[in-house]
Amino acid sequence: MAALRVLVGVKRVIDFAVKVRVAPGGAAVQTQGVKHSLNPFCEIALEEAVRLREAGAATEVVVATLGTKASQETLRTALAMGADRAVLAELAEGAAAGPREVAVALAALARRLQPQLVLLGKQAIDDDCNQTGQILAAILDWPQGTFASRVSLEPGAVQVQREVDGGLETLRLRLPAVLTADLRLNEPRYATLPNIMKAKKKPLEVVPAADLGVPAGPPRLRLLQLQEPPPRAGGEKVESVESLLGKLRHAGRI
């Protein structure tokens, strides 16, 4: 079988269960000492790639991320879930990156590694941008299948079922292609402890982000301000439908 390499892009984000707080200054979220983990949609993308390899449709799964040194632990988790090797496009401590910067890095890696398929999560749960996959496809000039809920490889092509507002849409894309994973694509496996130990021996390459053409300086997307939502005001119970309508009209809602 011809070599079919899959490149999976992942992101280290604040764990979904954490109660996020705005850091003093209102310019960022508190990240010091807060639990981080692999972005859930990236997990789903990685799981799909590993399943493709296990089914024999793919030959190698390479996982990559753009981040600071701390992202190495995220890559180790990905290796424990079944990726064959990992690449860290390393940013300096304190540097930030947005979807465009990530796409530039992944594009450079794609030109280096020549994958037939790039799988990403549809969005990260911290910024909910939903842009990286699309920008990446544009840079590489590859076809894209976003919000994938089913993926099947065919010779030279990939069939993608997408979840769109109107329902489900199925596309056939020529390879190489960029896909982004949606929630119902699969259920990711647990990284078992024996696999975590085996992952220690798998190769993890560190490449400075600048070497991949990631521009130095602040990201294209600038965060202007962050504030917590206003505290929830109490609700009110009314006795009848009329008084409900009255209250709503009074509050200018209808």
- Return residues touching other proteins (CB under 8 A): 33, 37, 73, 76-77, 80, 190-194, 196-197, 200
Burial group, residue 12, by CB count within 10 angstroms (0-12, 13-18, 19+):
buried
- Nearest-approach distance from CB 13 to other proteins, in angstroms: 14
Instruction: Pick the closer one to other proteins by CB: 85 or 189.
Output: 189
- Nearest-approach distance from CB 81 to other proteins, in angstroms: 9
Instruction: Pick the closer one to other proteins by CB: 184 or 200.
Output: 200
The two structure tokens encoding residue 40:
């859930």
Instruction: Pick the closer one to other proteins by CB: 31 or 37.
Output: 37
- Nearest-approach distance from CB 173 to other proteins, in angstroms: 33
- Nearest-approach distance from CB 161 to other proteins, in angstroms: 26
Q: Which residues contact 112 (CB under 8 A, 6 or more apart)?
A: none
* CA 254 – CA 237 distance, rounded (Å): 18
- Which residue in 122, 230, 215, 140 sits closest to 177, CA to CA? 140
Pairing of strands 167-174, 157-164: antiparallel
Instruction: Pick the closer one to other proteins by CB: 43 or 101.
Output: 43
- Contact between 186 and 153 (Cβ < 8 Å): no
Instruction: Pick the closer one to other proteins by CB: 201 or 250.
Output: 201
Instruction: Pick the closer one to other proteins by CB: 78 or 136.
Output: 78
- Nearest-approach distance from CB 34 to other proteins, in angstroms: 11
- Which residue in 117, 246, 215 sits closest to 174, CA to CA? 117
Instruction: Pick the closer one to other proteins by CB: 113 or 196.
Output: 196
- Nearest-approach distance from CB 37 to other proteins, in angstroms: 7
Q: Which residues contact 65 (CB under 8 A, 6 or more apart)?
A: 9, 10, 11, 12, 71, 74, 75, 86, 87, 88, 89
First to last CA, the chain: 64
126-149 burial by CB neighbour count: b if 16+ within 10 A, else e?
Answer: bbebbbbbbbbbebbebbbbbbbb
- Nearest-approach distance from CB 196 to other proteins, in angstroms: 5
